[in-house]
């Protein structure tokens, strides 16, 4: 969409480090495609860089991270803490929220967590079982992070005829229905399409986030208390490269206020006994 700035990556990460010093956060969650190819050299290099930030950093594996048959094993060996307990699926638990990170597999590949060619995401029966058990037991709102988008980019955002980047129907249906069955699932955050979008499916909000290495270097900041989940989008262009080239033809990729910001009221768990009346 926008000019990409993978090199020098130091410039991008230096800007991020500086921004984090001024805007401290509890942790960073990278939404996937940290590397272009999942080989040992790139995995080691980028794991080292992301874990050198002034806060804990985690990774939701994306298709590019897993583009070789041995990528998954290489990540387990060289992630440097980006994958808690060496697992591609994991939970990050906090006072007011639980974050569930889910790495999908891809249709047609001969083994799990390998992206060969198809972009069709696959959630295994075991992953569904684990996720559903977790959602059923959670008394806090849950944010699900996975790499592949759940919603398309609407024509109202692009000005084009029809939607762009439609998600796989089966994948989308499963996740939307999951939120209907488990209301503690408030928000699904994804990447993959290099565009800031936001969609509503009943009480569920799904959003995709622009690629951080592309102008204007957007990231999402999620703030949570016992009443609301607030999502804001920040451009790090002033910290990374104020003169970075920007392609105005695709300015819709940044989204407007309704794609860049939202407030989600927190729903209480039915079995949460903390409200003694
Ligand atoms: Fe991707």
Which residues form the domain of 259?
9-265
Residue 57, pLDDT > 70, answer yes
Q: Per the domain annotation, does 164 fall within a domain?
A: yes
119 CA distance to ligand 1 centroid (A)?
A: 8
pLDDT at 10: 86
pLDDT at 180: 97
Burial class (CB in 10 A: 0-12, 13-18, 19+), 122: middle
Q: Per the domain annotation, does 2 fall within a domain?
A: no
At 128-137, the pLDDT tens digits run 999 999 999 9
35 CA distance to ligand 1 centroid (A)?
A: 10
Measured distance CA(13)–CA(235) in Å, rounded: 14
Q: Per the domain annotation, does 64 fall within a domain?
A: yes
- Ramachandran category for residue 220: left, alpha or beta (phi over 0 → left; psi -120 to 50 → alpha): beta
Q: Per the domain annotation, does 76 fall within a domain?
A: yes
277 CA distance to ligand 1 centroid (A)?
A: 48
228 CA distance to ligand 1 centroid (A)?
A: 29
Residue 2, pLDDT > 90, answer no
Residue 40, pLDDT > 60, answer yes
Q: What phi, psi does 105 have (nearest 5°)? A: -100, 180
102 CA distance to ligand 1 centroid (A)?
A: 14
**Mean pLDDT of all residues in 256-268:** 96
The pTM score is: 0.94
Q: If residue 134 lies in a helix (H) or strand (E), which one and from where to where?
A: helix 125-137
Q: Per the domain annotation, does 169 fall within a domain?
A: yes
Q: Per the domain annotation, does 114 fall within a domain?
A: yes
Measured distance CA(44)–CA(80) in Å, rounded: 8
Confidence class of residue 277 from pLDDT cuts 50, 70 and 90? very low
Measured distance CA(270)–CA(277) in Å, rounded: 14
Domain count across the chain? 1
Q: Per the domain annotation, does 3 fall within a domain?
A: no
Residue 270, pLDDT > 80, answer no
276 CA distance to ligand 1 centroid (A)?
A: 46
88 CA distance to ligand 1 centroid (A)?
A: 15
Confidence class of residue 271 from pLDDT cuts 50, 70 and 90? low
CATH code assigned at 33:
3.60.21.10
139 CA distance to ligand 1 centroid (A)?
A: 31
**Is the Cα torsion angle 39, 41, 42, 45 positive or negative in sign?**
positive
63 CA distance to ligand 1 centroid (A)?
A: 5
120 CA distance to ligand 1 centroid (A)?
A: 11
Confidence class of residue 152 from pLDDT cuts 50, 70 and 90? very high
Q: Per the domain annotation, does 275 fall within a domain?
A: no
pLDDT at 45: 96
At 81-103, the pLDDT tens digits run 999 999 999 999 999 999 999 99
């Amino acid at each position: 969409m926008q000019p990409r700035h993978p090199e020098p990556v130091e410039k991008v990460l230096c800007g991020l480090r500086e921004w984090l010093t001024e805007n401290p956060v509890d942790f960073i969650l990278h939404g996937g495609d940290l590397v272009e190819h999942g080989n040992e050299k790139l995995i080691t290099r980028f794991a080292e860089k992301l874990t050198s930030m002034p806060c804990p950093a985690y990774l939701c594996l994306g298709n590019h991270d897993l583009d070789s048959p041995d990528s998954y094993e290489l990540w387990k060996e060289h992630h440097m803490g980006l994958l808690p307990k060496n697992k591609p699926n994991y939970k990050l638990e906090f006072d007011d929220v639980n974050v569930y990170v889910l790495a999908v597999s891809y249709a047609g590949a001969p083994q799990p967590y390998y992206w060969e060619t198809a972009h069709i995401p696959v959630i295994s029966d075991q992953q569904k079982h684990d996720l559903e058990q977790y959602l059923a037991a959670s008394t806090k709102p849950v944010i699900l992070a996975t790499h592949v988008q759940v919603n398309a980019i609407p024509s109202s955002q692009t000005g084009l005829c029809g939607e762009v980047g439609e998600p796989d129907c089966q994948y989308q249906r499963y996740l939307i229905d999951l939120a209907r069955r488990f209301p503690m699932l408030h928000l699904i955050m994804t990447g993959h399409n290099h565009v800031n979008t936001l969609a509503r499916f009943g009480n569920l909000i799904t959003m995709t986030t622009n690629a951080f290495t592309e102008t204007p270097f957007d990231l999402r900041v999620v703030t949570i208390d016992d009443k609301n989940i607030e999502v804001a989008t920040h451009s790090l262009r002033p910290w990374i490269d104020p003169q970075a080239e920007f392609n105005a033809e695709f300015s819709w990729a940044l989204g407007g206020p309704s794609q860049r910001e939202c407030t989600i009221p927190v729903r209480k768990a039915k079995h949460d006994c903390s409200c003694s009346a």
